[in-house]
Amino acid sequence: MRVVRASRPSQKIEEGETIMSGKAKVLVLLAVCSLVAGSAQSAMVQIAEFRSGVDTVYVLERPIPKLGSPSTPPSHPGDFDVFGPDSLYHEAVVIAAHPDWRPALSVDDLAQWISVNENGAVPSIDTASGLYAVMVYYNQTNDVITGIVLDLWFTADNYLGGHGMSALYWNGEALDAPGDIIADAKQLFKNEYYFQFVGLELQPGENWLYLDATSFAGPAGVLFSGTLSAPDVDVPEPVSMGLLAAGAIGMILRRKR
């Protein structure tokens, strides 16, 4: 950042008096800030966004379970293998919202309802439950990136997770989402829900989010939108600020001498 300073009249320096330069003052201010901030966290920046109906979403169809019980939860790595040789995933289908459903998300009107097949919104046709998968970020480095924050807005018919089953999975690992709470919401598809997950990791290569949706016959689908955020590495760390503080103190002592 370029700083423009206005000129000012010269000052007479009496014996024993010290006038600190503007640069030294800035360094002292940074030093004080570092002491105050201490372990302050870096700012977060959005690195990706995704939404149903716009980004390609894959789905593993499940049979419709008995009313009151969810589909069988994913139990082995093959359940999350979207492109494997034995994979049963196919692309989810964009559908028009059923009249009883929430038509759009308040935070993202570009997101669209999707289902396991084109009959997802038809009330008289049974549609399957499904494990929906979307690849939300490709990490081109060979390093694991930590401190990731996931924000997700969604609704579904009938619901995600529930009855002790996880609603969401990150790279095949269950996320701690309050599935049992939303499982009992009879009108889940009329409402909008929001989850935030802090401290996730980006693995090298593909990083996938899975939404486990259960349908109890009739209309079925999900509607979601989300973002990924990561620490801004350009923000100075406390250690760097400490070095600036040491430099500022050295300049002050030198001027006094």
pLDDT at 255: 56
Phi and psi for 253 in degrees, rounded to 5?
Answer: -65, -40
0.85 exceeded by pTM: no
Same domain, 192 and 252: no
Same domain, 26 and 103: no
Mean pLDDT rounded to a whole number for the chain: 79
Same domain, 35 and 131: no
Within 10 angstroms of residue 25's Cβ, the number of other Cβ atoms is 12
Contact 105, 73 (CB under 8 A): no
Q: Percent of the chain having pLDDT more than 90? A: 54
pLDDT tens digits for 5-48? Answer: 222 333 333 444 444 455 445 444 444 444 444 444 569 999 99
Number of domains in the chain: 2
Please tell me the distance from the alpha carbon of residue 112 to that of residue 115, in angstroms, as a whole number.
Answer: 10
Q: Which residue has the higher pLDDT, 20 or 88?
A: 88
Tell me which residue range forms the domain holding 28: 22-41+243-256
Give me the CATH number covering residue 54.
2.60.120
In a domain, 161, yes or no: yes
The Cα angle at residue 223 between residues 215 and 101, in degrees rounded to 5: 70
Same domain, 97 and 81: yes
Please give the single-letter amino acid code of residue 128: A
The continuous run of DSSP H or E covering 44 comes out as: strand 44-51
Same domain, 31 and 56: no
Please tell me the distance from the alpha carbon of residue 248 to that of residue 48, in angstroms, as a whole number.
Answer: 39
Same domain, 148 and 252: no
Q: What is the CA radius of gyration of the chain?
A: 27
* CA distances (Å), origin 70, targets 92, 113, 214, 240, 242: 20, 21, 6, 52, 54
pLDDT at 129: 92
* Residue 159 confidence class, pLDDT cut points 50, 70, 90: confident
Same domain, 99 and 168: yes
| Cα of 2 vs its chain's centroid, Å | 34
Please tell me the distance from the alpha carbon of residue 150 to that of residue 148, in angstroms, as a whole number.
Answer: 7
Same domain, 32 and 60: no
Same domain, 101 and 125: yes
